[in-house]
Chain A
Amino acid sequence: MRKAVPPFVIAVVSLIAWQILHAMAGSNTISAPLQTIAFLTDIMATTRFWLDVSETGQAFLWALLISMALGTSLGVALGLSRGTGEVIEPILVTFYALPKVTLYPLVLLVFGLGLSAKVAFGVMHGLVPITLLTRGAITQLKPVYWRTAQVLRLNRRDAIRLVVLPAIVPELIAGIRISVSLSLLGVLIGEMFASKRGLGFAAVNAMGRGDIRMILAIGLFLSVFAITANAALLALEAGVRHRTAAR
Chain B
Amino acid sequence: MRHRGLASLAVVAAGIAALQVACETGAIKRTILIAPSDMAASLWDILQSGTFNHAIALTLGEVAIAAVIAIVLGFSLGVLIHASEFLRRGIEPYLVSYYAVPTIIFYPVFIVLLGVGSAPIIAIAVLLASVAMITATVTGLDRVPRALTRTARVLRLSPLQRALLIQLPAAAPYLFTGARLVVAYAFIGVIASEFILSADGMGYAIAYAYNNFDNRTMYGLMLLIIIVVAVVNTSLDLLDRRLQSRLQSGRGR
Seen from chain A, the residues whose Cβ lies within 8 Å of a Cβ on chain B are: 3, 6-7, 9-10, 21, 25, 29-30, 86-88, 90-91, 93-94, 97-106, 108-110, 178, 180-181, 184-185, 188-189, 192-193, 203-204, 206-207, 210, 212, 215-216, 218-219, 222-223, 226-227, 229-231, 234
Contacts and interface: CB of A to CB of B under 8 A. Distances in A.
A206 B11 contact: no
A6 B91 CA distance: 8
Given A97-B187, A189-B192, A181 B226 contact: no
Choose among A29, A93, A98, A181 the residue with the greatest number of B CB atoms under 10 Å from its CB: A98
Contact of B4 (A10, A25, A87, A210): A87
Contacts of A231: 97
18 contacts: A6-B86, A6-B89, A7-B94, A30-B113, A94-B233, A98-B188, A98-B230, A102-B195, A102-B225, A105-B207, A180-B100, A184-B100, A189-B104, A207-B108, A207-B197, A226-B97, A226-B101, A227-B97
B83 interface: no
Given A99-B187, A105-B222, 17 more contacts: A7-B91, A7-B94, A88-B11, A90-B5, A97-B187, A97-B188, A102-B221, A103-B222, A181-B99, A185-B104, A188-B105, A204-B196, A207-B107, A215-B109, A227-B97, A227-B101, A230-B97
Contacts of B111: 207
Contacts, number: 160
A224 B2 CA distance: 45
B250 interface: no
Contact of B206 (A102, A210, A227): A102
B133 interface: no
Contact of A215 (B33, B106, B187): B106
Given A90-B5, A90-B234, A219-B106, A105 B97 contact: no
Interface string B222-241: 10011001100110010000
Choose among A104, A189, A219 the residue with the greatest number of B CB atoms under 10 Å from its CB: A219
Contact residues of B: prevailing secondary structure: helix
Choose among A91, A105, A178, A234 the residue with the greatest number of B CB atoms under 10 Å from its CB: A105
B218 interface: yes
A185 B102 contact: yes
B230 A94 contact: yes
Given A10-B91, A90-B8, A227-B97, A216 B109 contact: yes
A30 B112 contact: yes
A91 B108 contact: no
Nearest to A98: B229
B114 to A, nearest CB: 10
B105 A215 contact: yes
Contacts of B195: 101-102, 104, 193
Given A7-B94, A30-B112, A103-B222, A86 B4 contact: yes
Listed from nearest, the 4 A-B pairs whose CB atoms lie closest are: A6-B90, A181-B100, A226-B100, A10-B90
Given A93-B237, A204-B196, A3 B89 contact: yes
A50 B243 CA distance: 50
